[in-house]
Amino acid sequence: MRDVAVIGAGMTKFGKFLDRSLKDLTREAVQEALDSAGTEKAKLQVAVVGNATAGLITGQEMIRGQVVLRDIGIGGLPVINTENACASSSTAFHLAWMYVASGMYDVALAVGMEKLYHEDKRRSFQAIGAAVDVEWVEQMAAAAKAAREAQGDGERQPTFEEGAGEKRSMFMDFYAAFARQHMQRYGTTKEQFGRVAVKNHYHGSLNPHAQYREVYTLEDILNSPVVAEPLTRLMCSPIGDGAAAAVLVPADQARQYSSKPVFVRASVLVSGADRAPDEPGTTERAVGQAYDMAGLGPEDLNVIELHDASAPAELVIYEELGLCPPGEGGKLIDSGFTKLGGPLPVNTSGGLISKGHPIGATGVAQIYEIYKQLRGEAGDRQVEGARVGLTENGGGMVKGDAAALSVHIFSL
């Protein structure tokens, strides 16, 4: 296997773009990636395109990558479509890396693209809710209905069935349940989850690509509307539209294109599996493989982009990445360890919470942020001296574990 480098990356601003198509968004991201790489469309030998929901939102199925790339003048080359829920484009990047590492192709394009906004917001949430075992969801809904009937008409919390997948992403109910379990087991507080959101909204305020750039206090976060206890709205990632792209070449050819390539030290993709409660989950398995592949550990990292679909998710992932022992994620966020200026900044882009989460674009957008950080091009959110970065991107859920999860490690 050959070593691989990223020589160019691009992305759009994330946001609500009802007047922009997938073609339009992807054109912008791909052109920036090519310009950054100092190469042309004609040099591309293979393209891998990640998208999750176009079929459910726009009706475009089966040949999404071919349709979009042909419209921007890229045709004739192999195009592979990857659909892996929120990990769709980190999966695309993994395949592009594999094509180059194997020696099959020398210039590969990885793309992530998504349009989640629709005039009917229920359609957006229902599309996201398809990233689960739908038979299991039906069973959960039946159990929730029984629980609601047993509660009677008195005051009660909304159950899984009420609003999940209709007024909000059902994944917020899952994240809320995991958060409550963490609180019960380790004494983690709602305020600690809130500090994750404070940090990421501040980081996002420094990122011109972020969907939301407002700065909030802890009081603001905690007093925003409750989505599913203990999650408030400002602790949750929004839906959004956007695209991101990256160009990969063999490491020994990288300096023909770029004076400062970013090298892929590890690329890992895993799926969930049946396991005992004390056995490692998808994140632990993926990051363990990535650390082994890179010959590095958490102590070597300078910057991380991880899958903070909710604030509690980020805090738990600290522990899963080995940044702290199990149960001490709350102490880590309290210490300021993961904010800009701290020893190991996490989600300098603003993360999914602030930068936004057009789910098929998220994986490559994380890679874009690390690419910019390692090249010293991240502007006001630059991590001084950043030389090693990691991305962690999960997608979907089966039996309480991520359906697909990818970890990448990069270095100068």
Residue 190 CA to residue 172 CA, distance in Å, equals 15
Residue 223 lies in a domain: no
Residue 164 lies in a domain: no
Element (H, E) at 109: strand 108-115
Residue 362 lies in a domain: yes
Over residues 252-269, the pLDDT tens digits come to 999 999 999 999 999 999
Q: Which domain holds residue 87?
A: 4-119+242-411
pLDDT at 145: 75
Please identify which residue in the block is written with the tokens 């069935």: 161
Taking residues 304-317, report their average pLDDT: 98
Asked whether the predicted pLDDT for residue 162 surpasses 80, the reply is no
Over residues 355-401, the pLDDT tens digits come to 999 999 999 999 999 999 999 999 999 999 999 999 999 999 998 88
Beta strands in 175-228 (DSSP E): 226-228
User: Tokens standing for 374?
Assistant: 């390692």
Over residues 76-129, the pLDDT tens digits come to 999 999 999 999 999 999 999 999 999 999 999 999 999 999 988 888 888 888
Residue 343 lies in a domain: yes
Please identify which residue in the block is written with the tokens 């004076």: 259
Residues 367 and 246: beta-carbon distance below 8 Å: yes
Residue 109 CA to residue 34 CA, distance in Å, equals 9
Phi, psi for 357 (deg, rounded to 5): -145, 70
Residue 224 lies in a domain: no
Q: Which residues are catalytic?
A: 86, 357
pTM of the model: 0.93
Residue 19 lies in a domain: yes
Beta strands in 141-213 (DSSP E): none
Q: What is the Cα gyration radius of the chain?
A: 20
DSSP 3-state percent helix, strand, coil across the chain (nearest 5):
45, 20, 35
Q: Which residues pair with 81 in a beta bridge?
A: 49
Element (H, E) at 125: helix 121-128
Residues 99 and 44: beta-carbon distance below 8 Å: no
The domain tally of the chain equals 1
DSSP structure class, residue 390: E
Q: Which amino acid is at 177?
A: A
Over residues 265-294, the pLDDT tens digits come to 999 999 999 988 888 999 999 999 999 999
CB atoms within 10 A of CB 325: 10
Over residues 314-325, the pLDDT tens digits come to 999 999 999 999
CATH code of the domain in which 344 resides: 3.40.47.10
Q: Cis peptide before 230, with omega less than 30 degrees from 0?
A: yes
Degrees to nearest 5, angle at CA 108 with 207 and 48: 80
Residue 220 lies in a domain: no
Residue 338 lies in a domain: yes
